[in-house]
Amino acid sequence: MDHHHQVLSIFSFLLTIHLSISGVISTTFTFVNKCDYTVWPGLLSNAGVPPIPTTGFVLQTGESTTVTAPTSWGGRFWGRTLCSQDTTGKFSCLTGDCGSGKIECSGNGAAPPATLAEFTLDGSGGLDFFDVSLVDGYNVPMLVSPQGGTGDKCTTTGCIEDLNGACPSELSVMSLDGKENVACKSACEAFNSPEYCCSGAFGTPDTCKPSSYSELFKNACPRAYSYAYDDKTSTFTCANAIDYTITFCSSPTTSQKATQGQDTKQESSSSSKSNSATPQLNNDNTMVYEGGYNQSEISEAMCTHVLLHSQIIACIITITTAIWHLC
């Protein structure tokens, strides 16, 4: 084999290995429903990035689903509740509805109020940036937990409190029968005031300050965004995370949502419940989430992380051996 063919062979081999490794270390999102009611996750990709294949699906109590994100993906996730299908086949939800008329949101975002998980993968410095936001209000407890990542700010964030029960009447979204708060509006959504929306004269970090309403959210969920400029305590970063687990309700949350207004065709009779302890919160910015995941879940994630690194090392050894033989 002449030198030209050797170079081409090595290049082809390295390209194949590179593509293989890229597929192995893709970031995944695992959605887990620990609520005592069905949640329909919605997914919206940012403009200009390759989209995630699905834009919405159903997640029964106790179920989990994993989706793989394209390289450098960015977008948001949320949970829809109290969903049903009418006689014409139109699908809609009382909270978090995306207006598509179907389970798939097809490029539409969530109608507020809705708890949001926001991500930018492979951003500045190669880091993943993520947060849980209540800027558009709240409808369901949500926790984001990175698996296998590193960094001082690579930690669990979210809002595990049921804010619907504590929601002021002027922010409340009521169930169809008027007996229960099913979501909690932001002050911006409720009053459409520049002071609450951080717009106009209040459109800078210096002029837009926390309000009594945003502080209600912040006190309950110190790591979640409570208003537009709540960056310092609410943005988190990870290097080399292999998965982000998005959990709806970190422990079973019973409510009338389990039976009210939902389509029985899409609802299973499952009543399985998680035995996870309720995470403990300290109402400051150094709080620690405990009990969100059991030891077997953590061990599985770590084993996966070690396996991925082993595969990469094996590929490097294979490449080195091939080059030695060709030369």
Residues 110/116, Cβ–Cβ less than 8 Å: yes
Half-sphere exposure (CA, 13 Å, Cβ side) for 160?
24
Q: Which pTM value belongs to this model? A: 0.73
Q: Cβ(126)–Cβ(239) under 8 Å? A: yes
- What does the pLDDT read at residue 25? 62
CATH 2.80.10.50 fits domain 29-292? no
Q: Which residue has the tokens 């329909």?
A: 40
Strands 157-159, 142-147: pairing kind: antiparallel
Please state the separation of Cα 307 from the chain's center in Å.
Answer: 24
Burial class (CB in 10 A: 0-12, 13-18, 19+), 63: middle
Determine the 3-state secondary structure of 311 from DSSP: helix
Domain map (residue ranges) of the chain: 29-292
Q: Along the chain (327 residues), what's the average pLDDT of each consecutive run of 10 residues? A: 48 42 70 97 96 96 96 97 96 97 97 98 95 97 96 95 93 92 96 95 94 94 93 91 96 46 38 34 33 38 40 47 51
- How far apart CA 138 and CA 118 sit, in angstroms, is 14
Residue 326, pLDDT score: 55
Residue 123: predicted pLDDT? 94
Asked whether 265 and 173 are in contact (CB, 8 A), the reply is no
- Render 200-216 in DSSP notation, one character per residue: GGG-STTT----HHHHH
Which of 202, 210, 93 lies closest to 140 in space, CA to CA? 93
252 within 8 A of 260, measured Cβ to Cβ? no
Which residue type occupies 22? S
